[in-house]
C-alpha cells in the first residue's frame, strides 16, 4: 500500500522491499536482503535513493541496513508528519500533495562529520539576534577586558619559573568557582603534597594566611568552612608516577566530567608529565599529537583546559630581568602557539623584590568575542596569594 500511495503522489520509480521490514528479533537479519542481488546491476546505476520506511523500530533498522548496502552518499530520508507512520498514512490523513512534499523534501542521510548550512542555520540566526557569546569573566577588571574563559577551548600559560603561573591559575579557578560555581579538575604534580596545594587554595578562598604570621592565620572555622566549599568544587588528578601521561590524565578527567560535571581542567606543569614517545616519532610530532588530544577533549567535553609549560632558557637583559617569553619560546615546538586557543605569559620584575605587580601578557586570543591581545597588570598579595587590580 505504501508503494501505491507514492505512485498516487506522482513517483513511479518506486519499489517495495519484499515482506516489509524484518522483525527486530529476526535471526540472521542480514540474510533477509537477498532481493538486492536480483537487481544489483540496476541499483548500481541509481544516483539517489529516497528511503520511505515506517517510523518504528523495524523501519529504522531496515533503513540502517539499506543505507549501509546502497551507500550512505546516495541515500535520502523522509520525515513523516506527526501522527503518521508511513506513506499510506500520510496519503489518507493529508492527501497526495502533502505526501509529494514529504518526498521532495527528503534530506541526505546524515554523515558524522559532514554538515549543511541548514543543519546549523538555527544557531546562525541565534548569533545574528544575540551576538557571539564570550567566555566567563574571573572578576579582575583589567584582565577581564583582555581574556575570558570559554569552555571547549584551551589556554597555554607560560612564564619564567617563580613568576607566578600556578598562583594565577589557582586564583582564576577560585574566582570561577566562587562567582560561577565552576567545578575544576587539577593535575598539578609539582604542587605536592596535596595538602600543601589545598592550603594555598584555602588562603585564596578565605583571604587569610594558612600559617601564623604578622596578621594571624585563618581560624579553624574558616578552615572547615573553606574546606567544605573546596570539596564541592575541586578534584585532584594524580596518577601513579609510572602512568603520569597525557592519556591517563584525560581519562581521569573524563571520569570527573561524568561524575562531577567539571568545567575546567588544569595541567600544571607540562614537563612533569611522562612524555616517553614511540620510536620514530619526533618531539615536534609528539607535541602536535598530544596537543590535538587536549584540544579534542576540551571541545568534546565542553571543558576549558589550562596547560602550564615552561619556556626554554632565556638570556637576562642588562637590567637583570628576563624578557617576556612568548609561546614560541616554550620548549619543544611552535605547535604551542599554533594549536592553543589562548596564550598567556606571566612576568614579574624580579630585580625589585618588593615589587608585587604581576604582568599578564595576553599574546593570543583565537576568537575576538573572548578577548584581545594586550597586557593586564595585577597586584599580588603575598600573605594570601590573592590578586587584585592595581587601580584598587
Asked, for residue 135, whether it belongs to a domain, the answer is no
Residue 24 sits in the same domain as residue 70: yes
In a domain, 350, yes or no: yes
| Same-domain check for residues 117 and 147 | no
- Residue 132, in any domain of the structure: no
Looking at the DSSP bridge assignments, the partners of residue 158 are: 345
Domain match, 177 and 105 both:
no
Q: Cell 596535596 appears where?
A: 194
The pLDDT score that the predictor gives to residue 224 is: 96
For residue 136, tell me if it sits in a domain: no
Residue 356 exposed, middle or buried by CB count within 10 Å (0-12, 13-18, 19+): middle
310: exposed, middle or buried (C-beta count within 10 Å: 0-12, 13-18, 19+)?
A: middle
Query: Does residue 44 share a domain with residue 96?
Result: yes
Q: Do 106 and 150 lie in a common domain?
A: no
Q: What is the pLDDT of residue 57?
A: 85
Nearest to 165 by CA among 348, 340, 14, 295: 348
Same domain, 19 and 52: yes
Residue 174 lies in a domain: yes
Q: Give Cβ neighbours of residue 14 (< 8 Å, ≥ 6 apart).
A: 3, 6, 7
Instruction: Evaluate whether residue 130 is within a structural domain.
Output: no
Q: How far apart are the C-alpha atoms of 15 and 3, rounded to whole Å?
A: 6
The rounded average pLDDT for each run of 10 residues, N- to C-terminus, in the chain (392 residues) is 94 88 71 83 91 89 88 91 93 95 91 83 90 93 96 96 91 96 95 93 92 82 95 95 92 95 95 88 92 96 96 81 91 90 93 82 96 95 88 56
Per-residue pLDDT at 391:
62
**Residue 314 belongs to a domain with what CATH number?**
3.40.50.300
| pTM of the shown model | 0.79
- Give the residue among 237, 235, 234 at the shortest CA–CA distance from 245: 237
Which range of residues forms the domain containing residue 147? 141-389
In a domain, 129, yes or no: no
Instruction: Note the pLDDT of residue 373.
Output: 97
Count of the separate structural domains present in the chain: 2
Does residue 363 share a domain with residue 241?
yes
Whether residue 74 sits in one domain with residue 14: yes
Distance CA 186, CA 223 (A): 20
Residues 70 and 183 both lie in one domain: no
3-state SS of 7-59?
A: HHCCCCCCCCCCCCCCCCCCCCHHHHHCHHHHCHHHHHCCCCEEECCCCCHHH
**134 lies in a domain?**
no
- The per-residue b/e assignment along 360-391, b for 16 or more CB within 10 angstroms, e otherwise, is bbbbbbeeeebbeeeebebebeeebbbbeeee
State how far the Cα of 115 lies from the Cα of 20, in Å rounded to an integer: 31
pLDDT for 322 equals: 83
Q: Which of 90, 123, 156 is the last residue of a domain?
A: 123
Domain at 88, CATH number: 3.40.1360
Same domain for 150 and 94, yes or no, is: no
Are 186 and 272 part of one and the same domain?
yes
Q: Which of 95, 123, 151 is where one domain is finished?
A: 123
What are the angstrom distances between the C-alpha of 365 and each of 45, 155, 221, 222? 50, 9, 41, 38
Are 159 and 78 within one domain?
Answer: no
Instruction: Determine the distance from the C-alpha atom of residue 211 to the mean position of all C-alpha atoms in its chain, rounded to a whole number.
Output: 38
Listed residues 71, 92, 123: the one ending a domain: 123
- Rounded Cα distance between 301 and 304, Å, is 9
Amino acid at each position: 500500500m505504501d508503494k501505491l500511495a507514492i505512485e498516487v503522489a506522482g513517483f513511479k520509480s518506486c519499489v517495495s522491499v519484499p515482506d516489509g521490514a524484518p522483525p527486530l528479533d529476526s535471526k540472521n537479519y542480514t540474510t533477509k536482503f537477498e532481493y538486492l542481488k536480483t537487481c544489483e546491476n540496476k541499483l548500481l546505476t541509481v544516483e539517489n535513493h529516497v528511503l520511505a520506511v515506517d517510523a518504528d523500530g523495524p523501519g529504522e533498522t531496515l533503513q540502517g541496513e539499506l543505507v549501509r548496502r546502497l551507500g550512505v552518499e546516495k541515500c535520502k530520508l523522509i520525515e513523516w508528519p506527526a501522527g503518521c507512520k508511513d506513506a499510506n498514512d500520510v496519503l489518507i490523513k493529508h492527501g497526495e500533495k502533502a505526501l509529494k512534499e514529504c518526498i521532495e523534501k527528503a534530506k541526505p542521510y546524515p554523515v558524522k562529520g559532514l554538515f549543511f548550512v541548514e543543519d546549523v542555520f538555527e544557531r546562525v540566526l541565534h548569533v545574528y539576534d544575540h551576538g557571539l557569546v564570550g567566555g566567563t569573566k574571573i572578576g579582575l577588571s583589567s584582565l577581564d577586558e583582555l581574556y575570558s574563559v570559554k569552555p571547549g577551548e584551551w589556554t597555554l600559560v607560560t612564564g619564567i619559573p617563580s613568576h607566578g603561573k600556578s598562583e594565577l591559575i589557582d586564583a582564576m579557578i577560585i574566582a570561577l568557582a566562587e562567582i560561577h560555581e565552576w567545578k575544576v579538575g587539577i593535575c598539578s604534580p609539582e604542587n605536592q603534597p596535596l595538602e600543601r596545594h589545598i592550603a594555598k587554595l584555602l588562603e585564596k578562598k578565605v583571604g587569610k594566611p594558612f600559617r601564623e604570621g604578622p596578621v594571624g592565620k585563618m581560624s579553624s572555622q574558616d578552615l572547615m568552612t573553606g574546606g567544605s566549599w573546596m570539596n564541592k568544587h575541586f578534584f585532584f588528578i594524580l596518577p601513579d608516577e609510572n602512568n603520569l601521561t597525557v592519556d591517563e590524565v584525560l581519562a581521569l578527567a573524563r571520569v570527573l566530567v561524568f561524575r562531577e560535571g567539571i568545567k575546567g581542567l588544569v595541567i600544571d606543569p607540562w614537563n612533569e608529565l611522562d612524555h616517553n614517545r614511540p620510536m620514530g616519532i619526533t618531539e615536534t610530532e609528539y607535541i602536535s599529537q598530544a596537543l590535538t588530544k587536549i584540544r579534542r577533549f576540551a571541545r568534546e567535553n565542553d571543558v576549558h583546559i589550562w596547560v602550564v609549560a615552561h619556556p626554554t632558557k632565556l638570556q637576562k637583559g642588562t637590567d637583570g630581568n628576563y624578557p617576556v617569553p612568548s609561546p614560541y619560546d616554550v620548549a619543544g615546538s611552535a605547535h604551542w602557539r599554533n594549536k592553543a586557543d589562548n596564550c598567556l605569559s606571566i612576568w614579574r620584575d624580579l630585580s625589585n623584590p618588593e615589587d608585587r605587580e604581576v604582568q599578564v601578557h595576553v599574546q593570543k586570543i583565537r576568537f575576538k568575542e573572548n578577548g584581545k591581545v594586550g597586557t593586564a597588570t595585577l597586584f599580588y598579595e603575598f600573605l594570601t596569594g590573592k590578586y587584585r587590580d592595581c587601580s584598587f
